[in-house]
Structures are given as C-alpha cells and as structure tokens.
Structure 1
Amino acid sequence: MEKEPPRLEEGRALIGTLPVLSPALRHIPPGMRDELARLATRWLDAGHTPTTVHEHILRSLPGTSTPVHRPGGLIRYLLRHVPARPLPPQPAPAHTHQLSPRLQGTRECAGDHTQPMLFRPVGDETHCAECVPQAAP
C-alpha cells in the first residue's frame, strides 16, 4: 500500500475549492479529484501556497466567452509542471556605511581640510601626509 503524501489533504482542499473560483471549474469529474489533489500537493511541497496555485489557475483560464469543455483535463494540464517557487522580495538594505572595496582600509584625516580627506594609514596615524609636520633630516 502506497503511503499518502503528508500534504495530500491540503491538496484535496485546494482542488475542492476550485468550483468556487470560477464557474468554468464546476464540473470536474469526481474520478479526477485524487489525481488533481496529488498534482496540487506537489505544488504545495515545492513551497507554493494555495493562493499562488489558485492565482496560477485563474490566470490560465480562458476568457468568459470561451467555454471549458474538460475542466479536469485543463486543471491537470495547468498543474502538471511545478515551477520553482519565486523568492520573496528582499527588503531594501538599510543604509550602511560600508566602503567600496577600493576604499577599504582608508581613514578620514583629522586635519584641517576644506572637504573630507581620505588617506590610507600605515599604522595608527590620524592625519594624512600633508597634515603631518615633515621631520627635518
């Protein structure tokens, strides 16, 4: 006896709500419901939500003037290929004060400059070479 997929009940519920989504899906043959539920379960297992599966189906239905003669076959076709789950939109990173790789290791001079002056220190110095008094030889 084959073990049922863990989310098969969710897949059945998803298929059970299709007639509510569209009048074109009211006459899915009862004998196809388990097959369609297994296809829907594959979508759920891939990380899609019932809402995204419903949206996919609704986007793929023909216009209201075109009748659907075999709604079960249409749903089978629409659910056969499970696309990769789209990544959720990433929030814009908060403004960070990271320097570009070209400027890594630089420091702002503590000297008196009209504009900020970056320099690459050799040690712990806080002033650029222009601000450090030149030692006499």
Structure 2
Amino acid sequence: MAIKLENVGIAVRDLEATIAFFTDLGLTVVGRDTVSGEWTDTAVGLDGNHARIAMLQTPDGRGRLELFEYIHPEAIETTPTLPNEIGMHRVAFSVDDIDKALETAAKHGCFPLRGVATYEDVYKLTYVRGPSGIIVMLAEELKKTDG
C-alpha cells in the first residue's frame, strides 16, 4: 500500500491572523474555501460542520498546512498544548535564518517558549507559541566550515 502525507490540519481562532503569521514566515496560500454540507459532516464527524479553510504550502511544495476556522459548531477553546502532552504536538519548519524567523514571529506577538538551543552543532532550534496557541518549531541547520 502506498501512502503520502497530504497536509497537517489545524483549527484556529482567527484564520486571517494565522495566515498572516505563516505567510510572513514564507508559506504561500494555495487555496481558500468555505465548506459545509453532508459531505463535510460525514468526513469530519460533526453535524452541521461549517468552516472557512485555507491551504498553505512551503516554498519547496512538499509541506502543506490546512487551516480551518469553525463557523459551526462553535470552536471550543482549550488551554495551549504543552510540549509533553500526548496528542498532536507541533508543526516544524527548517529556516535558513532563525534570528530573522524569530523577528518575523515577534511581529505577530509570538515568542519562544524558553529560548534558542543548539542541538549537537547540527541545528539551532526553538519552539514558538504561534497564533491560536499552535506550537511551531523553527530549526536552522548549522553549516560547518573547514578552516
């Protein structure tokens, strides 16, 4: 059986603010729609399912996020996910300049949970609390130079 990851879906409080955050980081909106009807009730498992959605894509075309803002049923607020909780955890992106990515995130009021760490001289990385409490990992691969 062949399998391929299509996208990661994330319910958000404010679709426009979340799109702005991810597009400022470099993703592109590849589609938008408002969905409802029997097919969405069946697929999602919610009666009266009605949502505004947007599909975003990474510049290389290989990663996609589907963001959805519920119109009905009303979205349920939860406490933000903690890094050690079971379940959907985070979305991770490689960036070429973590400092620049963090400046962009800060413009949206999004900051690291603690700071920027270095993993075995391979990556500088951090977890940022993004819009709607989404945990976003940003990682910059460190380039080794021969001296």
User: What is the TM-score with the length of structure 1 in the denominator?
Assistant: 0.22
Determine which structure has greater relative contact order: mean sequence separation of CA pairs < 8 Å that are 6+ residues apart, divided by chain length: 2
User: What is the TM-score with the length of structure 2 in the denominator?
Assistant: 0.21
